[in-house]
Structure 1
């Protein structure tokens, strides 16, 4: 059953005061968008529902339609009636900055609370209390910050004139970009006093997500159905296309060749941080003005990059999905994807950044054979199995005091980022609560909804298959994407490469391709030394705390590449796959490591080689250490060893448990210890893979305590 476009109520402009209200709304819109601006009918329906009826509404409309105009105009009208400020829950800093700038153009005083402006929070709270703020933008993460949740949010929510949930598809775990922090919004809505209107907006929600979000909006207000205003999701300016190229060097070369020929400035999306950095570096070397933009980019650098793109000072930002929802540049001329997202809905949202204010914008997808491997990695980060969740709940219940994530790591085998995500979900479910000092169990019953998790996983798998279908499509691409969003008005666009029969060329200039090959074949990535032992190691009977002593620490090391690198990554994933044979590396890989050594700017050249022990690849590691010793004329010291020949056991995934594992298992034999104490220079410590970094840290500590002057780790892969 389709969600209706609206709920069939009377035309709001026919109400006795409707005409006057609409005229005031139009005035505010002109202040926001210019003298020629006029409200769309669904914009007016939403504004009337919020202002005149204090209703809850969900607006599902394409990017560039004017969803932000709805809440800014409604804010101006509500403030004019003496209502409190509008609270907007907004997911990204880039989106917040754009929204503040838009609000100021309309004379609306906007402030924000997020992780990048903590020093401004107290003055912001004071200004809100003094009535000096019309719009307060809050990141969803703040909703469960203990101080904000307990001290600020209740008073703020009670006095709000309007609550806005931007990018509302994040509320639904059926959505392509579900975020646990957004699930807390349901409790926020449930606790709102009567009469505070709520608006949720998104450009990317299919029928299932629309229905789910609409139901969640009713939380705490069962008096009437959520008003759903859903329009066609066509983007008339977009020229969708796919160019299938054989390998990473061809894709990089294609970018260097064709990017200067595309009009305007735009965004190049990559699937991983490393791909963004490598691509930006290559295009810069090819003489193009581009900048990298990822979740790991410094916040100030991100802001500078956004400003440079907005001012057309760069040709493109090479970005991960960190630059996504809400980035507003009407004249963005293109979006190119270097690798396919795993959801066609996510893809449509990202290409929707382009062409909002243009007649034509290019959206070109360059899929890679490795894309599905990257999808598999992201899928592995889904909600943990029930046994792990129960272990976490039992640990918190038995602790009797708040446990920080760092202390939980000593008891639950999950990487920190995944552990934090799980705790957020459990928090929303009411099983745990974040308090000062960490996390506590609430003692409430909790059910592992395996049926729902399985269904969500199946939905994600369908999205993956649909993305592959999009790449191979022989019918209109726009119609396909709109169909994925359950857009009833989807029809052939007449503009995409399939509709027109005009495809991007896939031949690449040999010079550009050679340049790309040279860059991608450039080996070497740093391995930073561990400087601090994890918190709480004494609970695991490991007598380590505080800083790693400088006299036991290794120097900065090197890996041939990261698993996620565009160039060497594919080969390393093959060599080090679980089912790969244990055999010596190829001459090509060996020469890559030799080039890493040749380019290494060490303070002192190594004089000896030691190997890490390996249960899964003993032949590979021992052979590699021996060949490097012979090629570099270095003294072969032999290998560290495990106390138990079976090794340390099943690999642990987080820092604390992995350190405990290797600390108990790793040993240095008397012969190696004696030789290490006699060398007069650094020791090269060879391994196949640096993951958490603790095996190398413990191995280096053993060698340093045996007398080695310095230790330089060298591995095939990092990350």
Structure 2
């Protein structure tokens, strides 16, 4: 039977009796199965990229001689290995493979107890497809014991969401760069398929170049790039310009039931996802929140409820991202704009894959750019910080990430990201127990990092232009992705007129304003000292003594909140001028204290005095807040705890070990304050502007407790993040 006929037969098992291969799908399958080539497919969401690799897998696994199109050599290829970014996508793929009679298994952090069983099945030849996450490629045990054997027997390698390979892409992941090692270890003429829906020409060229790593196919040449038009005929794009977060939530409360089917509401932060989901539930909607902080069981349950149409919407951060496949998704709404039109195209592409019409709505906010700046600040660190880590690492004794934290002032997630990049570059190596220096020379490519940063800035500007443009919105997105066939869609709000107006009913707006006006965020007390402090001369380790701990505290709101976030950011932003606490914020703080005393989880005892933490950057703000609270509560303001060289400034965002090292012995309790503390019979309210890492509050509370305070209740305007 001709290869194409066999391919069509597999497709029908996968997608139904009426399914037929697109021409570029067949070109990809033929290149993989007949020519054993490397192929990059840049095709719109819903085009059928997964059909290409499942059909190719079935043909390669069957093996044997075929007629009318070439030869599949041998008695059948080894298993297909699919590198896929998220667990949700893996679960979808396993189910899809089963429909085509393909046995698929996955190795990931959620099924550690199945690894040995799966390895045995691979050895026995009963697994057709193995799905792994990119992070698995640099797990020491997997990399050293499983990966070489797997690479040597792989029949087809698939790199899903391949734009993650490129640091020019909107969702670069250093672990994906480990694919170079995998590619170099493949047997000669092993076919490779990379797929993505979101790659402009620069990313496409970068991925294609990396795809050719170890490519020794002689006359076959470089990777075949199949790039198709990126229009999504089912999507109707629109932007709704609303004046405040309350208006945006109120609009959703008024209109969510008018949106077709079930869908996704994306938010930019975890806090916004939680607030939005809670508010919509309070208005009678069945919705669920989905963030990177949700545990795996919660995410699975939320995904399944959306798949089964048991809920109207999943309120999600980008943690959902590429990892969800619901062909009949009826709408995607964004509360806040992503920082890139390419990322936006990728997210809205989840909708309308198997329905005639789907609504795509962007509700941008004035706070979006501040959130973009925060995420941009997490980019690759400056050279001096990188070099300090390289100097600290040894070639023969691994150091863990916590052990490195006292050495370099980077938060753990950013430090781990940097180490992964250095690992890919060959400067360090991850082993059991931590990281080793390789001794290989390493170059800090400042010029490239600067160009990537400039590209990110340009993407942010393009996203602002998308929200403001009067031209076709789909054409705009397609041009951002360098689609040469981009033309006006005829469907978006600019082409065909607005489908939805921006009116918000008075009841919905009032409910949203009341919801967002709620006060109170918990400040959890620290109970453990960071690891490795003794190595930098700080004699603290293990548990913080209960007699030196703070009690649970409260803040007015988070800087990332939809409600108080904007107001608080205006007060404490680096460029904000210092001044007396505004009346509306002071009144909210008094309301917060009232709720704290009477709520479901009240303070253990009423405070008997107020103490402020001196601030270099906002001394008037903090002092006036403490003064106002003392006056309203009829409490004595005992004074301020200050740093030895003057009022504290809070310092830049860094890791816990660095914060404790900096803060240890930095503060002093003036003698009059110490005398006043010694005679107290109840807790002290300790007032500050922003709680970021939480270590300033912890260290000052410890100092007050050691100076005689019976208990300390932390109180702040805001919690960062």
Out of 130, 134, 153, the position equivalent to 2:128 is: 134
Aligned residues: 700
Q: 1:103: which partner in 2? A: 97
CA contact (8 A) 1:652 1:661 kept: no
- Output the CA distance in 1 between the equivalents of 2:550 and 2:268: 32
Aligned counterpart in structure 2 of residue 45 of structure 1, from 4, 27, 30 = 27
Shift of 1:671: 2.9
Q: Deviations over 1:259-300 (max 9, x none)?
A: 111120000011111111111111111111111111111111
SS in 1 for 2:543: coil
Residue 122 of structure 1 deviates from its aligned partner by: 2.2
CA–CA separation in structure 1 for the residues paired with 2:388 and 2:555: 35
| 1:164 alignment partner in structure 2 | 158
Q: Using the alignment, how far apart are the partners of 1:144 and 1:700 within structure 2?
A: 41
Q: CA deviation at 1:232?
A: 1.0
Structure 1 pair 650–632 and aligned structure 2 pair: CA distance change class (3 A): closer
CA contact (8 A) 1:648 1:665 kept: no
Deviations 1:183-228 (A, max 9, x none): 1112211221213111000011111111111111110014311011
Distance 1:660 1:358, change over 3 A: same
Corresponding residue for residue 466 of structure 1? 462
Q: Label 1:428 to 1:713 Cα distance change in 2 as closer, same or farther (>3 A).
A: same
Moved more, 699-708 or 287-296: 699-708
CA distance in 1, matches of 2:472, 2:532: 57
Tell me what 2:67 maps to.
none
Match of 1:36 in 2: 18
Deviation track 1:536-571 (CA, whole Å, cap 9, x = no partner) reads: 101121110011112211121111111111111111
Compared with structure 1, are the counterparts of its residues 337 and 682 closer, same or farther at alpha carbon in structure 2 (3 Å cutoff)?
Answer: same
Larger deviation, residues 224-233 vs 164-173:
224-233
What is the SS of the residue equivalent to 1:184? helix
- Give yes or no for the alignment of 1:219 onto 2:216: no
Give the conservation status (yes or no) of the 8 Å contact 2:656–2:695: yes
Residue 634 (str. 1) matches residue 635 (str. 2): yes
2:351 aligned with 1:354 = yes
**Are 2:543 and 1:547 aligned?**
yes
Verify: 1:430 aligned to 2:426, yes or no: yes
Deviation string 1:373-432 (CA, Å, 9 cap, x unpaired) is: 1111111111111121122212225x8521111111101111111111111111111111
**Displacement after TM superposition at 1:683 (Å):** 1.6
Q: What residue is the counterpart of 1:681 in the other structure?
A: 682
Partner secondary structure for residue 664 of structure 1? coil
Structure 1 residue 648: Cα displacement: 7.4
Residues 501-528 of structure 1: CA deviation (Å, up to 9, x unaligned) = 2352112111111111111111111111
For the aligned residue pairs, the C-alpha RMSD in angstroms reads: 1.5
Contact 1:384–1:422 (CA<8 Å) still a contact in 2?
yes
**Which residue matches 2:694?**
693
Match of 2:139 among 128, 134, 145: 145
Is the 2:238–2:498 Cα contact (8 Å) retained in structure 1? no
Deviations 1:116-167 (Å, cap 9, x if unpaired)? 2222222222222222211111110111111110011000111111110000
1:574 to 521, 546, 570: 570
Hey, what does 1:452 align to over in structure 2? 448
Query: Equivalents in 1 of 2:105, 2:396: separation in Å?
Result: 39
Q: Which residue of 2 aligns with 1:16?
A: none
Whole-angstrom distance in 1 between the partners of 2:99 and 2:672? 74
Task: Give a deviation string over 1:49-78, Cα, whole Å, max 9, x none.
Answer: 111121111111111111001111111111
- Give 3-state SS (helix, strand or coil) of 2:2's partner: helix
CA–CA separation in structure 1 for the residues paired with 2:393 and 2:286? 51
Give the Cα–Cα distance (whole angstroms) in 1 for the partners of residues 679 and 178 of structure 2. 60
1:64 aligns with 2:58: no
Contact kept, 8 Å, 1:655 with 1:692, in 2: the verdict is: yes
Q: 2:364 aligns with which of 361, 364, 367?
A: 367
- How far apart in 1 are the matches of 2:641 and 2:482? 59
Aligned to 1:560: 556
Mapping of residues 261-340 of structure 1, within 5 Å: 261-340=258-337
Which position in structure 1 is the counterpart of 2:114? 120
1:594 corresponding residue in structure 2: 590
Contact 2:650 2:696 in 1 (8 A): no
Measure, in 2, the Cα distance between the counterparts of 1:257 and 1:587: 32
| Structure 2 counterpart of 1:486, from 482, 487, 490 | 482
Q: Is the 8 A contact 1:648 1:662 kept in 2?
A: no
Distance 2:141 2:624 in 1: 56
Quote the Cα distance in structure 2 between the aligned partners of 1:201 and 1:631. Answer: 62
Please give the alpha-carbon distance, in whole angstroms, between the structure 1 residues aligned to 2:650 and 2:301.
Answer: 47
* Structure 1 residues 595 and 122: alpha-carbon distance in aligned structure 2, compared to 1, 3 A threshold: farther
Give yes or no for contact 1:243–1:503 (8 Å, CA) kept in 2: no
For 1:228, the equivalent position in structure 2 comes to 225
User: Is 324-333 or 609-618 further displaced after alignment?
Assistant: 609-618
1:257 aligns with 254
**Distance of 2:475 and 2:298 partners within structure 1:** 38
Distance in 1 (CA, whole Å) between partners of 2:121 and 2:230 is: 39
- Aligned counterparts of 2:683 and 2:452: Cα–Cα separation in 1: 52
Deviation of residue 635 (structure 1)? 3.4
More deviation, 284-293/501-510: 501-510
- Counterpart for residue 8 of structure 2: 26
Cα deviation, residue 667, structure 1: 2.2
Distance (whole Å) between structure 2 residues aligned to residue 665 and residue 502 of structure 1: 59
Instruction: Indicate conservation of the 8 Å contact 1:207/1:486, yes or no.
Output: yes
Moved more, 385-394 or 415-424: 385-394
How far apart, CA to CA, are the structure 1 residues paired with 2:346 and 2:364?
17
Matched, 1:180 2:181: no
Instruction: Give, in angstroms, the shift of residue 676 of structure 1.
Output: 2.2
- CA–CA separation in structure 1 for the residues paired with 2:298 and 2:203: 34
Match for 2:187 among 181, 189, 193? 193
Q: 1:24 to 1:649 in 2, by over 3 A?
A: closer
2:391 corresponds to which of 380, 390, 394: 394
TM-score of the pair, normalised by structure 2: 0.95
How far apart are the structure 2 equivalents of 1:555 and 1:291? 32
2:530 to 521, 529, 534: 534
- The separation in 2 between residues aligned to 1:103 and 1:291, in whole angstroms, is 28
Structure 1 contact 651–658 (Cα < 8 Å) conserved: no
Q: Distance in 1 between matches of 2:587 and 2:236?
A: 44
